[in-house]
Homo-oligomer: A and B are copies of this chain.
């Protein structure tokens, strides 16, 4: 890999650029973002070497790049797949960082069907923050994190192997999953926590508004439970739209569990629930 185009130079895209540089990547990194401000910050931080500022210029830059990384919300990834599939050539690789993988893998199978054309490797780094933006990008964001791939092709090309190796080089643990299993697991470990945090934050806003006592008293438990309440709708809309059924199932299961616990606040069943929870938290 000698040249990389990063589409979306926010927290995830810019951190990938910074991490690659820190790991010794000496090729050229071009960046594109719909926001001129994000693009400028990513350029000034050194996450990208050069900028392109229109979709057309980004498409041209993609033609000249060994690898294109789509680090934008899921629907924008799907749009870029449609734009890039007809204009790229065999030997080029497109990969992404999208939060859900079933729809992206389906489109990849259709638009990037094997050896005769460019390849698509769906990916998803398990790292992030409750807010976004190139200004809070870090070279170390992925240190120790898992970078999941949900490959649609049985065999890796040289470009795919190179990209996987770079993701290891920046400190991630690379892991392969089936797209449907990815979306199922993520519904539980990421999407459900997000929705609980959003629901609790919105409920507290409606119930307490500016009440200073609530904020004075609230400690670590409240901070942790509502931290993701800061997350932007723009990203999570795409997650909710592309992983609706698994997310709805996990939400319903938690609602039922909370109801069960509420109905047993004064019975020995509460102890059973605490014991199951304690067991989940034990080291395995």
Contact = CB atoms under 8 A, between A and B. Distances in A.
A281 B230 contact: yes
A210 B279 CA distance: 10
A82 interface: no
A275 interface: yes
A189 to B, nearest CB: 4
Interface string A269-284: 0110111111111001
A232 B274 CA distance: 7
A37 interface: no
Contact of A274 (B126, B236, B254): B236
Interface string A216-231: 1111011011111111
A215 to B, nearest CB: 7
A251 B217 CA distance: 19
A123 B224 CA distance: 24
A253 to B, nearest CB: 6
A206 interface: yes
Contacts of A257: 199-200, 202-203
A225 B202 contact: no
A82 B278 CA distance: 33
A114 to B, nearest CB: 28
A154 interface: no
Interface in A248-275: 248, 251-255, 257-262, 265-266, 270-271, 273-275
Contacts of A55: none
Contacts of A277: 197-199, 201-202, 205, 226, 229-231
A258 B202 CA distance: 11
Contacts of A207: 188, 253
A267 to B, nearest CB: 10
A117 interface: no
Given A188-B208, A224-B227, 5 more contacts: A205-B280, A233-B275, A248-B265, A251-B261, A254-B258
Interface of A: 126-127, 145-146, 148, 173, 175, 177, 181, 185-186, 188-190, 192-208, 210, 212-219, 221-222, 224-233, 236-237, 240-241, 244, 247-248, 251-255, 257-262, 265-266, 270-271, 273-281, 284
22 contacts: A145-B219, A146-B216, A175-B216, A193-B200, A193-B224, A198-B261, A199-B257, A199-B277, A200-B257, A201-B280, A202-B276, A205-B276, A205-B279, A224-B224, A227-B281, A230-B277, A231-B277, A233-B274, A233-B278, A240-B270, A248-B262, A251-B258
